[in-house]
Chain A
């Protein structure tokens, strides 16, 4: 089945220790997104790629970086995690960005910062 896969599902890191979250897709979609979602809050878009074109949200901290080495994979790097970065990180894909193009989500990675 075509899908969006995220690894790991659960990640524990220490304050200040870099961590990388990964996302892969078999949908062959052009667009990949990274969201941060805290409990009972709306998903917050961090950045997205349209093909290799990187789009950073204005309020995404510099502590968050992303890489998309090819169509299928996208990585989220958190350079120095703080306690406030503990959240669910959701990867999503869409075929494009126009009106009806829905986003397909992976199962998420829950990040705990000790």
Chain B
């Protein structure tokens, strides 16, 4: 089967750094996405990785290792508004998007 694993919930402190991990097993690979989803709202696109390495975009960075089936999302200088769920999704060889259940990130002052 195909699956995406992420921690269910994480807690971090305002101003700190947090790393959200994602491991995947899919039939083929055509890229990995990270989305942010605030409670009761739609997911919004954060990042896309298709090659190994780190992609930096402001306070958010995303890393990919295809050989390990592993990615992480790194959030720096955490703000209260970063409290949300972060969903990892992988596009497989059929270009289907396989979604993880998301990691709920709780930011404390």
Chain A interfacial positions (CB closer than 8 Å to B): 40-45, 88, 90, 97-100, 102-108, 110
Contacts and interface: CB of A to CB of B under 8 A. Distances in A.
B100 A42 contact: yes
Contacts of A45: 96-97
Given A42-B101, A42-B102, A45-B97, A102 B45 contact: yes
B31 A100 contact: yes
B87 interface: yes
Contact of A102 (B8, B41, B48, B99): B48
Interface residues of B, number: 24
B87 A42 contact: yes
B47 to A, nearest CB: 9
* Residue among B41, B42, B91 with the highest chain A CB neighbour number at 10 A: B42
14 contacts: A40-B8, A42-B101, A42-B102, A45-B96, A90-B42, A90-B43, A100-B48, A100-B50, A102-B33, A103-B97, A104-B45, A105-B43, A105-B44, A106-B42
A49 B97 CA distance: 14
B42 A40 contact: no
B2 to A, nearest CB: 11
Contact of A99 (B8, B40, B50, B102): B50
A41 B101 contact: yes
Contacts of A110: 40
